[in-house]
């Protein structure tokens, strides 16, 4: 993870501000930075999204390919995650510097998204035990300014919403086997229901309080963080503690309740934004370097 060095005077200034619910950039303890979400930004994918959260920028592309179902769940498809930490994001990722973080992020995303409660995996099944859709989710970190988990989860949800999977027609061949035909019509496609797809909320314990969407400076003052994935109904689907410090039971309860509150409030405006952008179609104006 990208880190910054903070002096003792800066730490005191940040800690006192958070104690009074006033952070360095003027936000309250449960406020996010300015966020921009853009979908359908990469042409050679089945679904893509770019999310800017403050100065953290994440690009997600999804490719759907036909594969073989896993033996334990023969009537379900599955998702595969790969996170690439670009050296442009921070010099610390040069060489193999970002490999460990990339693996850690991939494992967490797999736990959060690759289950039947988040995505309807049965809808990805083509022929039970023989063929299914495998969604390869590639995440690229373009800029790193803290709070990677939240930005990536929002980008993954937006990319899944944008994903168009070709309609499959199964017919019998002359030898009695199954023949798979994909529709050539770009409008004859299947869309995923992303209503239950959770968003991750990261809460950092700073002093005696906790903050949402911590910057790198605030992260440097934090002893430990709690990563919580929350659905649109406020249900917690996954929880993980990161950082070297410890959290007492009372803090964990308070942070969980705050995470549920913040996560639940995040879904409605995100879905509204995605539906608005979808309704624009080709009239949508491309922004940023991908425009």
Q: What is the per-residue pLDDT across 217-227, written as a single tens digit (0 to 9) for each?
A: 888 888 899 99
pLDDT, residue 200, reads 92
pLDDT, residue 97, reads 66
pLDDT, residue 207, reads 85
Query: Does 228 have pLDDT greater than 90?
Result: yes
Average pLDDT over residues 254-275: 90
Computed over every residue of the chain, the mean pLDDT equals 85
Q: Any idea where the domains of the chain sit in the sequence?
A: 27-279
Average pLDDT over residues 271-277: 87
- Distance, CA of 49 to CA of 160 (rounded, Å): 9
pTM of structure: 0.89
Tell me the CATH architecture of domain 27-279.
2-Layer Sandwich (3.30)
């Amino acid at each position: 993870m990208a880190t910054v060095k903070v002096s003792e005077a800066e730490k005191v200034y940040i800690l006192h501000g958070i104690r009074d619910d006033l952070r360095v950039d003027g936000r309250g303890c449960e406020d996010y930075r300015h966020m921009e979400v853009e979908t359908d930004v990469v042409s050679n994918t089945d679904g893509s999204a770019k999310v800017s959260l403050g100065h953290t920028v994440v690009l997600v592309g999804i490719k759907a390919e036909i594969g073989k179902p896993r033996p334990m769940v023969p009537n379900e498809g599955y998702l595969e995650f790969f996170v690439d930490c670009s050296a442009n994001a921070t010099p610390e990722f040069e060489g193999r510097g970002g490999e460990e973080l990339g693996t850690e992020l991939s494992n967490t995303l797999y736990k959060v998204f690759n289950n039947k409660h988040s995505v309807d995996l049965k809808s990805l099944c083509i022929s039970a035990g023989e063929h299914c859709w495998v969604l390869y989710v590639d995440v690229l970190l373009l800029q790193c300014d803290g709070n990677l988990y939240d930005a990536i989860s929002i980008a993954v949800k937006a990319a899944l919403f944008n994903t168009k999977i070709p309609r499959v027609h199964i017919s019998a061949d002359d030898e009695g086997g199954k023949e798979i035909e994909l529709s050539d019509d770009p409008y004859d496609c299947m869309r995923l229901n992303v209503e239950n797809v959770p968003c991750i909320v990261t809460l950092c314990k700073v002093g005696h309080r906790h903050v949402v969407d911590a910057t790198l400076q605030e992260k440097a003052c934090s002893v430990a963080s709690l990563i919580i994935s929350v659905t649109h109904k406020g249900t917690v689907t996954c929880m993980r503690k990161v950082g070297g410090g410890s959290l007492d039971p009372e803090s964990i309860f308070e942070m969980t309740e705050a995470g549920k509150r913040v996560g639940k409030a995040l879904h409605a405006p995100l879905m509204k934004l995605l539906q608005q952008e979808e309704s624009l179609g080709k009239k949508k104006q491309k922004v940023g370097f991908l425009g």
